[in-house]
């Protein structure tokens, strides 16, 4: 059986592991698991060539529930483990599943360096804005002032925007989606899977036990379009239940405008550009906070030579210059002398 | 020293020159960090090597890159002992000290052999430099050096003058003074210049003027010493009784890097180094980064943790993963090391130990990470530990570490130290035909595959991702004894803890019988480990010469300890354990065998001198 036929025959079912899924009923992580199972068979990659790497936290149990190669590592270190695997075996499709504490608190260093290196990892961050597995402490993405078990008088840490952190670290592909918009989730994951180099996706995810309802405003089908904005490359920044609102940028300041009011037309709205080299608009969008709508979609998609390709290039260059090394050359190299 | 003697005069005025034959010689170059002393020492070692001697070197430099000039803490030194016989250490007391400034003289004088030669760069003995070195009066002009033969040479001034015709700015010309000093010492030992001249020209291939300046300075130094009959006695050390073969000089860090690549080549499995720069281990990264034309990948990680984690990822991918570090970095890698033990993946962690705790003395030697290596993890987490005893031994230990790691599917800690890591010694290039084969088998058969099923060595199978039909998950959570699925079953946990311990303990079965030098039983056994091999061997030989019954055992395997160790210890009335710590191996021996031992401990950032160990031996028997 050749590789292609092996891939074509794959279905969602082939990616189901025999392990009982131990997330709380109603957890947003189920949605991601389901969409990944639906996505992987269609990528044209043999099942054995997928590897899912994780750290610690609720989301990091993910690899156990997928019938691929997987490694459940230690807290925060998944990008480092995955980087070693990808460098050693560039032909593998290596994914990292992480959480807001795992990647932005204890693993912040590995996270930013994976972004700046542009190594071919697909990093999915399940952001529930709370610590779940340790039962309800604030996380680096928890709102300022939020009362949690570790911040009974209110959180005095200001939150990170994961998208801003990723962009600031130089990531080439950065997106945000949400657990219960299945179509958006699937499409965003597909874009990430197809992007060479580091691809980062923040998934806003509901923790039913410790932070339930945190995403309600952006989920409620009746009202969500007033508080969220779907990004589309080359399209004006529009949102609103009636689709008649938009974002205009004056100088460096974004402002909400209503089409048809005060002579505002679509031509006045900022146009989304994923491919902008400097990523200034992407960063501006990543900082949007109420009353500005929360952007969902691909903030940035700029291709550059992936790290593993550059790394392989070094070996090729070394061999071109010096020839493939042999053990004999290795041992007898350098300054030698004879003793008779 | 007499005030009337003109500054440029060399002392003492020679009447009859003679050549004396020596068995061995110890030379130390000392100067400011910026004076190029490491380079000079290294060049001298290469010249000595070409002469067919055995030798050992000891670079000793401050942790500051270039401390303020003239200060005591900015002094950098390089010592070499060479001989016609076997050499085990760089030697205790230099016969010759080259001191490029007052600070170098002050910090090194106490080590110099009484009656030894001191060559000083006299023009550096200015009031300013004397005061920076804390001298109240000029030692070249008071009585403080009467026990030594002092040669005052205006090395700086003579170098500039020798290079006048080349038209270099004086400052640039002055930088060649280290080659001038080297020329002086080469004259003292009658060593030829041509090979070094060639090396200088090759090194400065694109900078002909600099090459010419250095060669000129080297020749000028030699010629000066010869022309003014600077040394009444010059020395010759006869090339020695060394096993015939082709040799090269290796530091411990170079040898370890070569050993790792050799393991990879022998096994036909690529090598991956994940590492973060840290003194004194960084050279391993440098060495391997220059070997990308082999199956070698190096990854300078964002921190120590990423260094080991990337190596774990690579090992999971089916390559030989290694991470290099020193004490503080080892502390950071601890959690990941526990993960590796749990994943049961092969990995080598080389710790080039330095003086601790914390940042400690980054460039100085100590052996104080032994207990950290053996015990320093959460949970019951045994990890095999081996230690290299000399620069060249790092090569063999690097291969051995990977052999154990892959055979038993376990992380292995290889302990080296800043002494042997940076010191060089001659290494006889081994014959490829003599090297033991190194076989690694990856499991590819999905039939009946269980990720944690074990072979006779209690090792589980190594499976490369990409192998169809064998998809499985590993992780740091406790796993079922066979399937590797998460298991919180109490009895399963006990069984897994015990089997991981039994697997590591079982390595003792294949440790070769202990090799003891000296009597098989008797009054005293000196037990050492790691980089103190040299001074212990020399001290034992000296004691033997004095008629004492003393045996020496040097341990490579520290966890598990060799099976015949307990019985071996029991054959001697006393056991002496010299260690560069407060008694860590001693503690292990007492704990494992309920056997008391005598500790000889030293924690001064320096290795033992032969005399320190010899004196203790003589007190004990």
Structural domain boundaries of chain A? 3-235+274-309, 236-271
Chain A residue numbers with beta carbons less than 8 Å from the beta carbon of B473 are 17, 19, 63-64, 69-72
Res B84: pLDDT:
85
Q: Is B46 part of the contact surface with chain A (CB cutoff 8 Å)? A: yes
A205: nearest Cα among A27, A64, A21, A58: A27
pLDDT band with cut points at 50, 70 and 90 for residue B5 = very low
DSSP string, A186-219: HHHHHHHHHSSS-EEEEEE---TTTSTTTTHHHH
Residue recorded with tokens 């973060």: B276
Mutation test of the interface with chain A: which of B309, B377, B443, choosing the one with the most A Cβ atoms within 10 A? Answer: B309
Residue B313 and residue A325: Cβ atoms within 8 Å? no
For testing contact with chain B, the best of A80, A315, A318 (most B CBs within 10 A)? A80
3-class DSSP assignment, residue B567 = helix
What is the chain B residue with the closest CA to A17? B472
- Which of the four pLDDT bands, split at 50, 70 and 90, describes residue A9? confident
Long-range contacts, B401-406 (Cβ 8 Å, 24+) = B401/B348, B401/B350, B402/B260, B402/B263, B402/B267, B402/B320, B402/B322, B402/B346, B402/B348, B402/B438, B403/B263, B403/B438, B404/B507, B405/B346, B405/B347, B405/B348, B406/B267, B406/B320, B406/B346, B406/B440, B406/B462
Residue B362 has pLDDT above 80, yes or no: yes
pLDDT tier for residue B68 given thresholds of 50, 70 and 90: confident
CB-based contact (8 Å) between A174 and chain B?
no
Residue B85 has pLDDT above 90, yes or no: no
Range in A174-178, B45-49, B462-466 with the lowest mean pLDDT:
B45-49
The percentage of residues in chain B with a pLDDT greater than 90, rounded to a whole number, is 86
pLDDT > 50? residue B470: yes
- Cβ atoms within 10 A of the Cβ of B167, count? 9
Within 70-129 of A, beta carbons closer than 8 Å to B belong to 70-74, 77, 80-89, 91-92, 109-110, 113
| Closest approach of B296 to chain A, Cα-based (Å) | 8
- How far is CA B61 from each of CA A294, B78, B422, B514, rounded to the nearest angstrom? 57, 8, 11, 36
Mean pLDDT of A226-238: 97
Phi-psi label, residue B596: left if phi above 0, alpha if psi -120 to 50, beta otherwise:
beta
Instruction: Kindly determine whether residue B467 and residue A48, on different chains, have CB atoms separated by under 8 Å.
Output: yes
Could you read off the pLDDT of A138-149 as tens digits, one per residue? Answer: 999 999 999 999
A52 with A69: CB under 8 angstroms?
yes
The complex's ipTM works out to 0.97
Q: Which of B196, B494, B269 is nearest to A335 (CA)?
A: B196
- B283-318 CB burial, b ≥16 within 10 A, e <16: bbbebbbebbbbbbbbbebbbbbbbbbbbbbbbbbb
A44 phi/psi in degrees, rounded to 5: 75, 25
DSSP string, B146-191: TTSEEEEE-HHHHHHHHTGGGT--HHHHHTTHHHHHHHHHHHHTT-
Fold topology of B18-237: Pyruvate-ferredoxin Oxidoreductase; domain 3 (3.40.920)
Residue B594 is predicted with a pLDDT of: 96
Which tokens hold the place of A90? 């560039």
B248 vs A: CB within 8 A: yes
Alpha-carbon distance of B497 to B474, in angstroms, equals 16
The strand pairing partners of B592, in sequence order, are none
Q: Are B231 and B225 in contact (CB under 8 A)?
A: yes
What pLDDT digit, counting tens, does each position of A171-188 carry?
A: 999 999 999 999 999 999
Is residue A12 scored above 80 in pLDDT? yes
Q: How high is the pLDDT of residue A1?
A: 43
Nearest to A84 by CA among B387, B453, B535, B310: B310
| Cβ distance of A70 and B291 shorter than 8 Å | no
CA neighbor of B333 nearest in space, from B301, B352, B309: B309
Task: Read off φ and ψ for residue B251, nearest 5 degrees.
Answer: -85, 165
Tally the residues of chain B: 621
**Residue of chain B whose Cα is closest to the Cα of A78:** B309
Structure tokens at B192: 């030829």
Neighbouring C-beta atoms of residue B80, cutoff 10 Å = 27
Name the band, by pLDDT with cuts 50, 70 and 90, for residue A58.
very high
Taking only the tens place, the pLDDT of each residue in B145-166 is 999 999 999 999 999 999 999 9
* Residue A250 confidence (pLDDT) above 80: yes
- Average pLDDT in the B117-138 region? 95
Residues 178-237 of B with CB under 8 A from A: 199
Model pLDDT, residue B235: 84
CB contact under 8 A, A74 and B339: yes
- What integer best gives the mean pLDDT of chain B? 94
With an 8 Å Cβ cutoff, are B302 and A332 in contact? no
Q: Which fold has domain A3-235+274-309?
A: Rossmann fold (3.40.50)
Using a CB-CB cut-off of 8 Å, the residues of chain A touching B430 are 331
The C-alpha of B590 sits at a distance from chain A's nearest C-alpha, in angstroms, of 35
How does residue A332 score in pLDDT terms, banded at 50, 70 and 90? Answer: very high
Sign of CA dihedral A27, A113, A163, A183: negative
Whether the pLDDT of residue B7 is over 50: the answer is no
**B516-620 placed in CATH 3.40.50.300:** no
| Res. B434: pLDDT tops 70 | yes
Mean pLDDT for B36-49 is 93
Query: Contact A110/B306, CB-based, under 8 Å?
Result: yes
- Which residues of chain B make contact with A89, given a CB cutoff of 8 A? 317-319, 464-466
Cβ-based contacts of A309 with chain B (< 8 Å): none
Give Cα A74 distance to the centre of its chain: 19
Query: Region A151-164: what's the mean pLDDT?
Result: 96
Span B77-101, average pLDDT? 93
Minimal CA separation from A62 to chain B, in Å: 10
Candidate CATH numbers 3.30.930.10, 3.40.50.970, 3.40.190.150, 1.10.645.10; the one for domain B248-430? 3.40.50.970
Where does the pLDDT of residue B15 fall: very low under 50, low under 70, confident under 90, or very high at 90 and above? low
Q: Which residue has the tokens 């699925």?
A: B485
**Considering CB atoms only, which of B246, B336, B471 is closest to A332?**
B246
Mean pLDDT for B71-99 is 93
Nearest to A244 by CA among A270, A225, A217: A225
The answer to whether B480 and B360 are in contact (CB under 8 A) is no
The predicted structure's pLDDT at residue B264: 98
Listed residue (B250, B415, B391, B258) closest to B324, CA to CA = B415
Could you tell me where in chain B the CATH 3.40.50.970 domains are found?
248-430
Which structure tokens are listed for A61?
Answer: 């149990």
Of A84, A88, A332, the CB nearest to B429: A332
State chain A's mean pLDDT as an integer.
95
Residue B247 tokens, joined: 């040799």
Tell me: the pLDDT tens digits for B486-531? 999 999 999 999 999 999 999 999 999 999 999 999 999 999 999 9
The contacts of residue B479 (CB under 8 Å, 6+ apart) are B342, B451, B452, B485, B486, B487, B496
Q: Which two tokens stand for residue B531?
A: 């980089």
Q: Phi/psi of residue B529, each to 5°?
A: -150, 150
Closest CA to B499 of B518, B523, B479, B517: B479
In chain A, the residue whose alpha carbon lies closest to the alpha carbon of B444 is A48
Report the first-to-last Cα separation within chain B, whole angstroms. Answer: 44
| A-to-B residue pairs, Cβ atoms closer than 8 angstroms | 205
Q: Which residues of B fall within a CB distance of 8 Å from A72?
A: 473-477
A63–B475: do the CB atoms touch at under 8 Å?
yes
Question: Is residue B280 reached through a cis peptide bond, with omega within 30 degrees of 0 on the bond before it?
Answer: yes
* Whether B474 and A72 lie within 8 Å, measured CB to CB: yes
Task: Return the H-helix or E-strand segment holding A176.
Answer: strand A173-178
The per-residue pLDDT for range B549-566, each reduced to its tens digit, is: 999 999 999 999 999 999
Report pLDDT for B13. 46
């Amino acid at each position: 059986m050749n590789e292609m036929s092996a891939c074509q025959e794959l279905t969602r079912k082939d990616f189901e592991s025999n392990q009982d899924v131990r997330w709380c009923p109603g957890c947003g992580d189920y949605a991601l698991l389901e969409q990944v199972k639906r996505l992987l068979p269609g990528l044209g990659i043999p099942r054995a060539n997928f590897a899912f790497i994780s750290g610690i936290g609720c989301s990091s149990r993910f690899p156990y529930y997928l019938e691929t190669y997987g490694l459940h590592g230690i807290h925060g270190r998944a990008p480092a483990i995955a980087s070693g695997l990808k460098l050693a075996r560039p032909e593998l499709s290596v994914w990292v599943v992480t959480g807001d504490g795992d990647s932005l608190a204890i693993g912040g260093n590995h996270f930013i360096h994976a972004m700046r290196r542009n190594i071919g990892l697909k990093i999915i961050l399940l952001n529930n804005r709370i610590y779940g597995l340790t039962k309800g402490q604030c996380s680096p993405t928890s709102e300022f002032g939020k009362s949690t078990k570790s911040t009974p008088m209110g959180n005095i840490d200001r939150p990170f925007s994961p998208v801003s952190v990723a962009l600031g670290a130089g990531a080439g592909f950065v997106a945000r989606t949400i657990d219960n918009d299945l179509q958006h989730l699937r499409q965003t994951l597909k874009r990430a899977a197809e992007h060479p180099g580091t691809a980062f996706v923040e998934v806003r995810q509901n923790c039913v036990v410790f932070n339930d309802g945190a995403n309600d405003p952006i989920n409620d089908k009746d009202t969500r379009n007033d508080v969220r904005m779907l990004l589309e490359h080359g399209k004006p920044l529009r949102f609103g239940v009636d689709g008649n609102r938009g974002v205009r940028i004056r100088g460096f300041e974004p402002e909400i405008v209503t089409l048809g009011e005060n002579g505002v037309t679509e031509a006045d709205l900022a146009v989304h550009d994923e491919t902008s080299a400097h990523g200034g608009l992407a960063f501006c969008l990543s900082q949007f906070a109420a009353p500005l709508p929360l952007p969902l979609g691909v903030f940035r998609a700029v291709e550059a030579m992936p790290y593993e390709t550059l790394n392989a290039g070094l070996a090729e260059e070394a061999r071109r210059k010096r020839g493939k090394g042999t053990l004999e050359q290795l041992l007898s190299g350098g300054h030698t002398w004879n003793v008779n | 020293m007499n005030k009337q003697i003109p500054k440029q005069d060399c002392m003492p005025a020679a009447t009859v020159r003679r050549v004396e034959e020596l068995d061995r010689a110890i030379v130390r170059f000392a100067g400011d960090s910026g004076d190029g002393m490491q380079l000079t020492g290294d060049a001298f070692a290469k010249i000595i090597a070409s002469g067919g001697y055995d030798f050992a070197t000891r670079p000793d430099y401050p942790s500051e890159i270039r401390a303020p000039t003239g200060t005591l803490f900015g002094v950098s030194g390089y010592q070499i002992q060479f001989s016609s016989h076997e050499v085990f250490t760089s030697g205790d007391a230099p016969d010759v000290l080259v001191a490029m400034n007052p600070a170098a003289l002050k910090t090194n004088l106490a080590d110099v052999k009484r009656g030894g030669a001191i060559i000083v760069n006299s023009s550096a003995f200015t009031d300013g430099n004397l005061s920076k070195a804390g001298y109240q009066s000029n030692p070249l002009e008071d009585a403080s050096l009467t026990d030594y033969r002092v040669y005052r040479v205006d090395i700086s001034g003579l170098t500039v003058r020798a290079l006048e015709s080349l038209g270099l700015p004086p400052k640039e010309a002055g930088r060649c003074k280290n080659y001038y000093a080297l020329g002086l010492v080469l004259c003292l030992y009658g060593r030829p210049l041509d090979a070094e001249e060639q090396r200088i020209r090759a090194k400065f291939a694109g900078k002909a003027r600099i090459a010419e300046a250095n060669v000129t300075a080297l020749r000028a130094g030699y010629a000066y010493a010869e022309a003014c009959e600077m040394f009444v006695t010059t020395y010759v050390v006869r090339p020695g009784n060394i096993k015939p073969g082709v040799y090269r000089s290796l530091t411990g860090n170079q040898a370890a890097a070569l050993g790792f690549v050799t393991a990879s080549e022998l096994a036909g499995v690529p090598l991956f180094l994940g590492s973060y720069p840290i003194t004194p281990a960084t050279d391993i990264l440098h060495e391997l980064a220059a070997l990308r034309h082999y199956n070698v990948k190096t990854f300078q990680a964002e921190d120590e943790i990423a260094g080991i984690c990337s190596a774990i990822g690579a090992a999971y991918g089916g390559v030989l993963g290694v991470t290099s570090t020193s004490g503080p970095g080892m502390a950071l890698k601890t959690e990941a090391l526990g993960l590796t033990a749990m994943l049961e993946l092969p990995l080598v962690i080389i710790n080039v130990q330095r003086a601790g705790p914390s940042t400690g003395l980054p460039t100085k030697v100590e052996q104080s990470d032994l207990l950290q290596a053996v015990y320093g993890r959460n949970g019951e987490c045994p990890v095999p530990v081996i230690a290299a005893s000399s620069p060249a031994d790092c090569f063999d230990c690097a291969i051995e570490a990977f052999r154990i790691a892959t055979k038993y599917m376990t992380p292995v800690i290889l302990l080296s130290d800043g002494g042997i890591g940076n010191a060089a010694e001659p290494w006889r290039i081994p014959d490829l035909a003599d090297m033991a084969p190194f076989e690694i088998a990856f499991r590819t058969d999905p039939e009946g595959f269980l990720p944690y099923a074990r072979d006779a060595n209690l090792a589980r199978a190594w499976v490369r991702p990409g192998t169809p039909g064998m998809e499985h998950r590993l992780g740091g959570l406790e796993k079922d004894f066979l399937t590797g699925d998460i298991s919180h079953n109490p009895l399963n946990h006990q069984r897994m803890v015990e089997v991981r311990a039994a697997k590591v303990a079982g390595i003792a079965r294949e440790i070769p019988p202990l090799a003891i030098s000296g009597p098989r039983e008797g009054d005293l056994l000196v037990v050492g480990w790691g980089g103190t091999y040299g001074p212990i061997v020399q001290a034992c030989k000296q004691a033997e010469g004095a008629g004492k019954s003393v045996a020496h055992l040097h341990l490579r395997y520290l966890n598990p300890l060799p099976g015949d160790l307990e019985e071996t210890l029991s054959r001697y009335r006393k056991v002496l354990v010299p260690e560069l710590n407060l008694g860590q191996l001693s503690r292990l021996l007492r704990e494992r065998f309920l056997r008391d031992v005598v500790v000889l401990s030293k924690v001064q950032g320096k290795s033992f001198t032969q005399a320190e160990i010899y004196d203790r031996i003589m007190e004990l028997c």
